[in-house]
């Protein structure tokens, strides 16, 4: 290569380098432009979020099949039941499962009020809703591989209507429903449990408390001390009954007790019918007291003493034709 060619080659390289630098400067201007930069960051975040969602969804799908078919006492946390057609999650669809487990933990209510949720969407209160368990049972009934339902109860009770709803859905279920009471299954929780085909409890479990309560705190004396005046403005004389800021009149007390006694009688009748007990004997023990599991067995309130292991043996011998129970747990919260 002669000097002329060398010079031409160097000139071409210089021009090429200049073009590259110029293109780079233009690109930097575009990138550093605020509008372009905002769009670039937003698109990048969306792409990253989409990728992470796909990765997490894949992880859940792969993990559910490997970990939810269990025969131990440790429940597996599953998806929240939000709609009737979502009543049974993937764990209850696992081919290896032949028993579905439902937890009835905390206060029993009919539905979750919005005020019980935190800003992040988590429940702030230890409670369970009857509508959620109702739809869970109805969904499980459609699964051919599920032969029975275990309802694990650890609840101090709750609303009578919620108890009625669950008692009826357990009683009418096309699958055998077995209740296992842990530390307590009392009041409304026991009412619901009576709809099951069989009830287990541990010797130290608290069972029963067959009665209805509507007590509340009267704050009228404290209000007077603090100088507060309650203005009772209603169009009906019983509208403010049981308002803690006014005293309860004799007439109001009589009405409240009438309703409590009606609900109490329904509770007693339900226990007597479902447990096949003499109603007069149920009336004798329907004083609101919670009996130990051992006492409850002697009174006919439960069928057997034992925990999940004993429930599994019962299912194997009486429901599953000798097969070992494979329980898919669905925790409601």
- Please check whether residues 75 and 53 belong to one and the same domain: no
Could you list the residue range(s) of the whole structural domain that residue 216 is in?
A: 70-330
Mean pLDDT, rounded, for 209-224: 92
Q: Whole-angstrom Cα distance, residue 297 to residue 310? A: 15
Instruction: For 10-32, write each residue's pLDDT tens digit.
Output: 455 555 555 655 555 665 555 55
| pLDDT value for 53 | 47
Instruction: For 103-155, write each residue's pLDDT tens digit.
Output: 999 999 999 888 778 888 877 777 899 999 999 999 999 999 999 999 999 99
- Please check whether residues 98 and 8 belong to one and the same domain: no
Contact 303, 199 (CB under 8 A): yes
Measure Cα distances from 73 to 76, 87, 159, 178, 326 in Å: 10, 22, 28, 15, 11
- Please check whether residues 89 and 51 belong to one and the same domain: no
| pLDDT value for 113 | 82
Instruction: For 38-80, write each residue's pLDDT tens digit.
Output: 555 555 545 555 555 454 444 433 443 333 332 333 333 333 3
- H helices of 151-239, in order, are 160-172, 188-193, 220-226
| pLDDT value for 65 | 35
Answer yes or no: is 148 within a domain.
yes
- Please check whether residues 163 and 220 belong to one and the same domain: yes
Instruction: For 240-252, write each residue's pLDDT tens digit.
Output: 898 898 888 999 9
Q: What is the CATH number of the domain that holds 225?
A: 3.90.226.10
- Please check whether residues 255 and 284 belong to one and the same domain: yes
- Please check whether residues 48 and 82 belong to one and the same domain: no
pLDDT mean across residues, the chain: 80
Q: What is the largest CA-CA distance in the chain?
A: 122
- Please check whether residues 171 and 290 belong to one and the same domain: yes
Answer yes or no: is 259 within a domain.
yes
Answer yes or no: is 229 within a domain.
yes
Catalytic residues: 187, 239
- Please check whether residues 192 and 116 belong to one and the same domain: yes
- Please check whether residues 131 and 34 belong to one and the same domain: no
- Please check whether residues 170 and 53 belong to one and the same domain: no
Answer yes or no: is 92 within a domain.
yes
Q: Are strands 206-208 and 290-292 parallel, antiparallel or unpaired?
A: antiparallel
CA angle 96, 102, 104 (to 5 degrees): 165
| pLDDT value for 77 | 31
Q: Are strands 206-208 and 304-305 parallel, antiparallel or unpaired?
A: unpaired
Contact 167, 146 (CB under 8 A): no
Q: Which residue has the higher pLDDT, 174 or 95?
A: 174
Answer yes or no: is 65 within a domain.
no
- Reading the block at residue 12, the tokens are 């071409």
| Cβ partners under 8 Å of residue 158, min gap 6 | 107, 108, 109, 127, 187, 188, 189
| pLDDT value for 206 | 97
Buried b (16+ CB within 10 A) or exposed e, 205-233: bbbbbbbbeeeeeeeeeeeeeeeeeeeee
Count of domains forming the chain: 2
- Please check whether residues 36 and 151 belong to one and the same domain: no
Assess whether pLDDT exceeds 50 at residue 87. Answer: no
- Please check whether residues 20 and 91 belong to one and the same domain: no
pTM (2 d.p.): 0.70
- Reading the block at residue 105, the tokens are 């933990």
């Amino acid at each position: 290569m002669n000097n002329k060619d060398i010079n031409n080659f160097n000139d071409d390289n210089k021009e090429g380098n200049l073009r590259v630098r110029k293109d780079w400067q233009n690109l930097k201007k575009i990138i550093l432009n605020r509008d372009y930069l905002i769009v670039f960051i937003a698109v990048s975040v969306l792409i990253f979020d989409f990728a992470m969602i796909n990765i997490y969804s894949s992880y859940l799908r792969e993990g559910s099949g490997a970990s939810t078919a269990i025969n131990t006492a440790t429940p597996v946390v599953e998806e929240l039941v939000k709609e009737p057609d979502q009543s049974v999650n993937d764990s209850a669809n696992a081919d290896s499962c032949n028993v579905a487990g439902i937890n009835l933990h905390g206060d029993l209510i009919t539905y979750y009020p919005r005020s019980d949720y935190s800003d992040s969407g988590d429940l702030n209160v230890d409670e369970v809703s009857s509508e959620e368990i109702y739809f869970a049972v109805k969904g499980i009934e459609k699964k051919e591989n599920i032969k029975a339902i275990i309802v694990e109860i650890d609840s101090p009770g709750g609303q009578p209507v919620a108890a009625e709803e669950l008692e009826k859905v357990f009683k009418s279920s096309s699958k055998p429903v077995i209740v296992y009471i842990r530390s307590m299954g009392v009041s409304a929780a026991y009412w619901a449990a009576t709809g099951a085909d069989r009830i287990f409890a541990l010797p130290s479990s608290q069972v029963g408390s067959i009665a209805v309560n509507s007590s509340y705190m009267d704050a009228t004396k404290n209000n007077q001390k603090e100088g507060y005046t309650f203005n009772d403005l209603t169009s009906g004389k019983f509208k403010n009954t049981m308002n803690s800021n006014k005293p309860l009149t004799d007439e109001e007390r009589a009405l409240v007790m009438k309703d409590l006694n009606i609900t109490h009688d329904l509770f007693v009748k339900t226990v007597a019918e479902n447990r096949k007990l003499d109603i007069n004997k149920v009336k004798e023990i329907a004083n609101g007291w919670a009996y130990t599991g051992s006492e409850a067995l002697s009174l006919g309130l439960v069928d057997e003493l034992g925990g999940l292991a004993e429930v599994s043996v019962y299912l194997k011998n009486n429901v599953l034709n000798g097969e070992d129970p494979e329980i898919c747990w669905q925790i409601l919260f």
